Amino acid sequence: EVQLVESGGGLIQPGGSLRLSCAASGFTVSSNYMSWVRQAPGKGLEWVSVIYSGDSTYYADSVKGRFTFSRDNSKNTLYLQMNSLRAEDTAVYYCASTLRRGSYQAFDYWGQGTLVTVSS
């Protein structure tokens, strides 16, 4: 059974740093496209970042230069290092795996999410 479990969220002051983790089971993260998607309280979904099976990473403009997506294949775990945090980064952060059918992609498995609150 595929499972994604996020951790590491919490309350952090503006300008601070936090590292989120996403532990995967039932499949190998290194063979998949994996993403972080966030949702501010009461708002819609926003794609944050993706790591491809070849280790390439891409970021939304809103987090570029501040967030870093990485992967530990030995632990089958993903990480999102978040630096220079701002109030607008407050959200539930989900990790998600990507279903690929030819050139089509969609997020097929999601974790339960971890809440990051940036506030003084």
Partner 1 sequence: DIQMTQSPSSLSASVGDRVTVTCRASQSISSYLNWYQQKPGKAPKLLIYAASSLQSGVPSRFSGSGSGTDFTLTISSLQPEDFATYYCQQSYSAPQITFGQGTRLEIK
CB of 12 to partner 1, least distance (A): 22
Which CB, 23 or 45, lies closer to partner 1? 45
Which CB, 102 or 120, lies closer to partner 1? 102
CB of 21 to partner 1, least distance (A): 16
Instruction: Please state, in angstroms and as integers, the Cα–Cα distance from residue 25 to each residue in 22, 40, 75, 87, 117, following that order.
Output: 10, 27, 10, 32, 27
CB of 70 to partner 1, least distance (A): 16
Other beta carbons less than 10 A from residue 98's beta carbon: 16
Binning the chain into helix, strand and coil, the percentages to the nearest 5 are 5, 55, 40
Which CB, 50 or 91, lies closer to partner 1? 50
Helix (H) or strand (E) holding 100: strand 91-101
**Site residues, partner 1 (CB under 8 A):** 35, 37, 44-47, 50, 52, 58, 60, 94, 99, 101, 103-108, 110-113
